[in-house]
Chains A and B, each alone.
Chain A
Amino acid sequence: MSDLAVSDGAPDAPLLEVKDLKVHLRVADRLVRAVDGVDFKVDTAECVGVVGESGSGKSTLIRAISRLMPNLQVDELSGELRFEGRDILRMADRELRTLRRSRGFAMIFQDPLGYLNPTQRVGRQIAEALSPDGRGRSEHRRVLDLLDEVGFADPGAIARRYPHELSGGMRQRVMIAIALASDPKLLFADEPTTALDATVQLQVLETLYRLHKERNMAVAIITHDLGVVAELCDRVYVMQAGKFVENATAVDLFERPQHPYSARLVELSAHRLDFRGMQQ
């Protein structure tokens, strides 16, 4: 825990702290308040979920926090964004890159096929996250270790594959390996299982959970699937139309939802779980 002493925030300050974040987008000449004054925090080694229906602003939120917004459509981006006490909203590019390269935050995405370069071998894409131009022996060894860590039985063979030669679940594992390369303290996961088959979803979630525990890595996971939250998360934010309507522990959310919208989400997911049960 010597890391905490190094950081310039207070010892018990959260790993990530977001205050009054506003992201207003300009979409076809219309102003969209995608994120409208949101307070959000993630503690060290905590797993936080953000749930809400499509279009509620979850993805924009996580893109804005991880500073991966496309610049073009952003009309306003304001608020306070602190990672280990450092202001990442106004951070210089160089400093931000250093943070991404080592012990900062990383991200995985909903559609791993689109987010992997189709013309490069998987191993090279992981090596690039270790060192931008490095393709040396030590990088190769680390690549194999990472592939092993995300659950591949034969890392050497996988490293030589191209993304289109892998299944959806394997691609998402590769994405996770890329994210782990910088040894992040916080992993953002944007709908990591939505594009996958039901059985594969569970495997990927188990992998994420294991890494979260083994590495003491905080995870902020975005999903519209409350089942995912139930599996993984300590705490949950419920998002509706750019605002958080509820912030509760996962247990509280399922047993005592406070906001009618949360209650409705829980009820619907319970129906769906029942339905799944009936099918089996």
Chain B
Amino acid sequence: MLRFILQRALYALPLIFVIIVVMFTLLHLIPGDPVQSLVGDYPVPPAYRAVIEEKYRLNDPFVVQVGNYVVAVLHGDFGFSYQNQRPVLDLILERAPRTILLASVGFAFAIPLGMAIGVVAGTTRNPGTDKFWTTSALIAYAIPTFWLGQLLVMLFALRFGWFPTQGIGPLISRAHGFDWLLEKARYLALPVLAFAIHEGMRFARIMRASVIDTLSQGYIVTARAKGLSRGQIIRNHILRNSSLPLVTIAGYSFGSALGGAVLLETVFTWPGLGLLMVDSIRLRDNLTVIGVVIFSALAVIVMNLIVDILYALLDPRIRTAG
């Protein structure tokens, strides 16, 4: 098993390298003179240009520049954000935990929700029940998250006033212990709800298809022949075996959610990576944009690695083949 994990991790390394190189190339291809953009709307004095070009080694061959950038990134140096007057890495490290919090709590609700609906729709012998859940899930999934988010805000925040409309709460909180948790939870509730409904319905559809496939397998007949009840068959055989496709899909979408749920964070002004990305694009803060993209790519790669490991844990056939 350890060998399997190391092997998968080794596969990931060249991918990380390629992503950094590609991102740097994109940065390089962006039209405009970097020195000019530093100076702004004034003509660049030649002496200043020479100093800057020397300092940032802009006249080095492209390959050397790529090499320097890769080395810098591997040392955690994503450059300096002039718009925010802070190193890009600091920005990412400040924003990432908020995005990770939103994505994790969202998934913690979305996965059980999706599995439950999928199992109910997939195992029911009543076609009406199946149709009801399948249609509901499709409709809920089709609603764009930003609109769903706004609806939730209008209903639960504006009309009932149960939850705040936006943000992550006061910068310095007076609450302690359980109250502090409760305060956090109130700010989390609506974005998490929107997130869980959207992702959960997608998972429900995948889970239903997978449950139906599992039901047609021979070992379900064996389980019936053993005299197991419906509930026992679902618990002992269907849940785990149908979860395999869900692990893949959920893992990948968790990876991309770690890069920031752009629309959701915008609607709820949740200051995570997604919002940072949107702001940076608007301000043409290219280094920050590229930093966030590299971080997201890393998150996806790490999640894929975790998916591989989970898959091997759930399905012994893969362990042997690896």
In the assembled complex, which residues on chain B have CB atoms less than 8 Å from the CB atom of A181? 226
Q: Does B224 contact A (CB under 8 A)?
A: yes
A117 CA / B227 CA spacing, docked (Å): 16
Residues of B within 8 A of A117 (CB): 219, 222-223, 237, 241
CA distance A106 to B315 in the complex (A): 28
The interface bits of chain A over 150-187 (1 if a CB of B lies within 8 angstroms of the residue's CB, else 0) are 00000000000010110000000001001101100000
Contacts of B225 in A (CB 8 A): 66, 68, 100, 106-107, 179
- Give the distance to chain B from A111, nearest Cβ to Cβ, in Å: 6
Interface hits, B227-243 → A, CB 8 Å? 227-229, 232, 236-237, 240-241
Instruction: Give complex CA distance A106, B224 in Å.
Output: 10
Q: Which positions 284-322 of chain B face chain A at CB distance < 8 Å?
A: 314-317, 320
When chains A and B are docked, how far (Å) is the Cα of A117 from the Cα of B317?
A: 11
**How many whole Å from B236's CB to the nearest CB in chain A?**
6
Let me know if A250 is at the binding interface, CB within 8 A: no
Q: Is the C-beta of A279 less than 8 angstroms from some C-beta in chain B?
A: no
Q: Which residues of A contact B240 (CB under 8 A)?
A: 119
Q: A71-B125, A117-B223, A162-B317 are in contact. List 20 more A-B contacts (CB 8 A).
A: A68-B225, A93-B229, A97-B228, A98-B227, A100-B225, A104-B227, A107-B225, A109-B221, A111-B218, A114-B218, A117-B241, A119-B314, A119-B315, A129-B227, A132-B229, A162-B316, A178-B222, A178-B226, A179-B225, A182-B227
Quote the shortest CB–CB distance from B228 to chain A (angstroms).
5
The proximity string for A residues 45-76 relative to B, scoring 1 for CB distances below 8 Å and 0 otherwise, is 00000000000000000000010100100000
**Residue B85, interface by CB 8 Å:** no
Cα distance A125–B224 in the bound complex, in angstroms:
12
Which listed residue (B226, B236, B241, B317) contacts A182, Cβ 8 A? B226
Chain A residues in 8 Å Cβ range of B315? 118-119
Contact of A99 (CB < 8 Å), options: B217, B222, B227, B241: B227
- Give the contact-size bracket for chain B: 20 to 34
Interface residues of B in 111-161 (CB under 8 A from A): 125
Instruction: Verify B217–A114 contact, CB threshold 8 A.
Output: yes
A104: nearest chain-B partner, CB-CB: B227
Residues 173-224 of A contacting B (Cβ, < 8 Å): 175, 178-179, 181-182
Please give, as numbers and ranges, the residues of chain B lying within 8 Å of A116 by CB-CB distance.
Answer: 218-219, 222
Q: Would you list 25 pairs from A and B whose C-beta atoms are within 8 A, ordered by A residue?
A: A96-B227, A97-B227, A97-B229, A99-B227, A100-B225, A100-B227, A101-B226, A104-B227, A107-B225, A109-B218, A115-B218, A115-B219, A115-B221, A117-B222, A117-B223, A117-B241, A119-B240, A128-B236, A129-B226, A132-B226, A132-B229, A132-B236, A175-B222, A178-B222, A182-B227
**How many angstroms between the C-alpha atoms of A244 and B225 in the bound complex?**
26
Chain A residue nearest in CB terms to B226: A129
A residues in contact with B237, CB < 8 Å: 117
Instruction: Report Cα–Cα, A117/B316, bound state, in Å.
Output: 11
Whether B219 pairs with A128 at a CB distance below 8 angstroms is no
Question: Is the CB–CB distance between A68 and B221 below 8 Å?
Answer: yes
Report B188 CB to chain A, min CB distance, Å: 35
A171 to B227, CA, bound (A): 20
Tell me whether A109 and B222 are in contact in the complex, defined as CB-CB below 8 angstroms, given that A118-B317, A119-B316 are known contacts: yes
- In the bound assembly, the distance between CA atoms of A107 and B221 in angstroms comes to 10
Lowest 6 CB-CB distances: which A-B pairs, in order? A100-B227, A114-B218, A115-B218, A101-B227, A97-B227, A117-B219
Tell me the complex Cα distance, A100–B317, Å: 30
**Interface core residue of A71, A115, A178 (most chain B CB under 10 Å):** A115
B316 touches which of A96, A125, A133, A164 (Cβ 8 Å): A164
Contacting pair B218 A128 (CB below 8 A)? no
Report yes or no: B320 in contact with A128, Cβ–Cβ below 8 A: no
Q: Which of A16-44 contact B (CB under 8 A)?
A: none
Nearest A residue to B232 by beta-carbon distance?
Answer: A132
* Chain A nearest CB, measured from B69 CB (Å): 45
B27-56 vs A: 1/0 string, CB under 8 Å? 000000000000000000000000000000
* Minimum distance in angstroms from A80 CB to a CB of chain B: 22
CB <8 Å contact, B320 and A164: yes
Q: Are B320 and A133 in contact (CB under 8 A)?
A: no
Give chain B residues whose Cβ lies under 8 Å from the Cβ of A98.
Answer: 227
B229 contacts across to A, CB distance below 8 A: 93, 97, 132
Q: Are B228 and A132 in contact (CB under 8 A)?
A: yes
A101 contacts which chain B residues (CB < 8 A)? 226-227
- List which A116-135 residues lie within 8 A (CB) of chain B: 116-119, 125, 128-129, 132-133
